[in-house]
């Protein structure tokens, strides 16, 4: 499955980046995650909607890039 490319909004520091990274990595279907303050690249067997839901539950915004 190709990697998901997401645009992120609301991340203001490395703590935010770490929070999103850790939350996505807890999903069994995720193999690899790269997060910056403005984007995320997620490899694994999940939909964009699933990844966006995890990010939005943390209080940030996300959409497909």
In the chain, how many domains are there? 1
| Nearest-angstrom CA–CA distance, 15 and 31 | 21
Q: Residue 19: give its domain's CATH number.
A: 3.30.70.100
Q: What pairs with residue 44 in β-bridges?
A: 30
Strand order in the sheet with 39-44: 30-35, 39-44, 4-9, 61-64
Tens of pLDDT along the chain (65 residues) come to: 679 999 999 999 999 999 999 999 999 999 999 999 999 999 999 999 999 999 999 999 999 99
- Residue 2's pLDDT is 78
């Amino acid at each position: 499955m190709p990697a998901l490319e997401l645009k992120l909004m609301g991340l203001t520091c490395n703590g935010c980046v770490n929070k999103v990274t850790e939350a996505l990595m807890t999903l069994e279907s995720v193999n690899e995650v790269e997060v910056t303050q403005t984007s995320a690249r997620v490899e694994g067997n999940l939909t964009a909607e699933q990844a966006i839901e995890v990010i939005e539950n943390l209080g940030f915004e996300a959409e497909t890039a």
